Structure 1
Amino acid sequence: MMDNVSVITMFTLSGLSGTKNYRVILFALTLLCYCVIWLVNLTIIVTVIVDKKLHEPMYIFICNLCINGLYGTAGFYPKFLLDLLSPTHVISYAGCLLQGFVLHSAVCADFSLLVLMAYDRYVAICRPLVYHSVMTKQRVCVLVFFAWLVPFFLLLVSTVTTSRLRLCGSHIPKIYCVNWLIGKLACSVSIASIAFPAFNYTFYVSHVFLIYWSYVRLIRTCRKSKENRKKFMQTCVPHLFCLLTFTVCLLFDLLYSRFSSKELEQSVRNFVAIEFLLIPPIINPVIYGLKLTQIRNRILPFLTSLD
């Protein structure tokens, strides 16, 4: 291909180059995993929507977190399943930008929703007398709206900036597309292509610190009251566990992306790359379904009625 962005219409993905011998097994396992992701997340979503008793801020945020899990995985699994059945692993230029946008915006929306969940627990435990006046239905709707809007806007700007780069290559050494990999193919680096991703990283890293700061305050408050300790164990521990799981999985992917070693087997590199698309979308709804009493009490009768 010529070194001109106008003639680069396809990218090649090299992550599946060594999977010919066990591609059918991998396809079956991936399809099963994707079905489980849909099942567990859809169960939580439908339960929260149908049961009016669950129309409270905490459960609304959990519902949106599960919706975001389906949105983010939809940007990866269908294309990955098709690649497992195809002898060639390519993706269109527009498709690559779209996949990068979906995966990045889903990650950012996850952090936004986790911030809202931490804030909700902070107000509920540290300021219980004003909880209902602070977390009104109107305010919750506004917070959820911006939790989706801000990531979409920031990643749209970043994606548009990436799309304007002149590219000198079309090979992506991964099983999916992300914007910074497209940026590495650029013939020259622009200020915008550095500034926007740097701002996004800083903005969402600050989300993580804000969440952990709120949990430090929560732990200090809960130590003073047995009732608050019980409330913390029932509602905050699942949030904290899901945050830790998501952060660790994402950190592994970022470290692999920045400092990947060719000495590692391709299968190991692939697993590290998809951890945040595999573990949190399954673990999150399972943890909330088992740990949060109100959700568990709605789901278990339905499951037992199927026997």
Structure 2
Amino acid sequence: MDEGLNVTYITLGGHVEVHKYRFLYFMIMFIAYILVICSNSTIVYLIVIHRNLHEPMYIFIAALLINSVLFSTAIYPKLLIDFLSEKQIISYSACIFQGFLFYTLGGAEFLLLSAMAYDRYVSICKPLQYTTIMRKTTVCIFLALAWFVPACQLVASAVVNIHVKLCRFTVRAIFCNNFVYRLHCSGSRALSIFGVVILLNVALFPMLFILFTYATIFKITYRSCREVRKKAAETCLPHLLVLINFSLLCTYDVTIVRLKYDIPKLANLIMTLQLVLYHPLVNPIIYGLKMKEISKHLKQLLLCQGKVN
């Protein structure tokens, strides 16, 4: 606590031997951040400049990749600063804001994947009605809701949390996440219930909707010709891979704070880094390689760059 400025500071105690390996950590995360920005931005660039990619499915993919960049930007800059700092601290208000961004963008990921699942359902199961249902207005509404819904729900939680009394000032994490709740002097039943409601609305229900939608798609296409089954697999499997990857990592983040015992710091660091390192880098790889049209334009771009060099 800084009495002069009346600012409460939190120590981020999840780092492992940061003083010994600070430059190694910094270089790894700096390179990873550059790769996240470049890889995701390249796919978005291809979608923007090629008119045949101006379809709802690719627009949702572009939004998902932009969300990955924003998600990383909410975490990486502070991490990089901490690696080079003598003390890994953050003001409590900034910590709450970082947590708000982290979970808002995480919730947006699930809602964007839900919109993509619905788009694939209409495209494959109701092809004659596709242009009528998936209009530009519909796509814009889905995109707006994907960010607006989690933000509106989480802002209320953030406002309440910022006024909660703290009895501890060290969080066993490398950035502000659910572990912040362990700093509170006493648990709030109302806050816990509200947190569960948010989790259901922005993660569990969308995930169940996605699984149900793809199960319906595969059930319908199973009875169809081989060409239809191939199209369904090509467009749906990348989305499912992204969903499974992100869901497993988010499940860890949500459940770890509920455990009554602390897992080893190194194990927690590895799992946390997977969420902020592995996931934003995997998305562009999956969509760049598995989506046929994007892959084709990506190869053309790489060939052109090779000829220029």
Same fold per superposition (TM over 0.5): yes
Distance 1:81 1:276 in 2: 16
SS in 1 for 2:11: strand
Distance 1:145 1:218 in 2: 25
Paired position in structure 1 for 2:43 = 44
Distance 2:179 2:71 in 1: 18
Paired position in structure 2 for 1:284 = 283
Paired position in structure 1 for 2:254 = 254
TM-score where L is the length of structure 1: 0.93
Cα drift, residue 277 of structure 1: 1.4
Paired position in structure 2 for 1:130 = 129
Residue deviations 1:195-253 (CA, integer Å, cap 9, x gap): 32121012121111111111110110111122221111211111111111111122233
The amino acid that maps onto 2:252 is F
Paired position in structure 2 for 1:90 = 89
The amino acid that maps onto 2:248 is V
The amino acid that maps onto 1:241 is L
Higher mean C-alpha deviation, range 42-51 or range 19-28: 19-28
Distance 2:282 2:77 in 1: 20
The amino acid that maps onto 1:18 is E
Cα drift, residue 194 of structure 1: 2.1
Q: Say whether the 8 Å CA contact 2:16–2:266 is kept in structure 1.
A: no
Paired position in structure 1 for 2:148 = 149
TM-score where L is the length of structure 2: 0.92
Residue deviations 1:125-157 (CA, integer Å, cap 9, x gap): 111111111001111111111111111111111
Q: Say whether the 8 Å CA contact 2:13–2:174 is kept in structure 1.
A: yes
Q: How many residues align?
A: 303
RMSD in angstroms over aligned alpha carbons?
1.9
Residue deviations 1:104-137 (CA, integer Å, cap 9, x gap): 0111000000000111111111111111110011
Asked if 1:195 is matched to 2:193, the reply is: yes
Unaligned runs of 5+ in 1: none
The amino acid that maps onto 1:200 is I
SS in 2 for 1:259: coil
Unaligned runs of 5+ in 2: none
Paired position in structure 2 for 1:19 = 18
Residue deviations 1:141-185 (CA, integer Å, cap 9, x gap): 11111111111111111111211212222211111112x433332
Cα drift, residue 256 of structure 1: 3.3
Paired position in structure 2 for 1:186 = 184
Distance 1:169 1:141 in 2: 43
Q: Say whether the 8 Å CA contact 2:235–2:291 is kept in structure 1.
A: yes
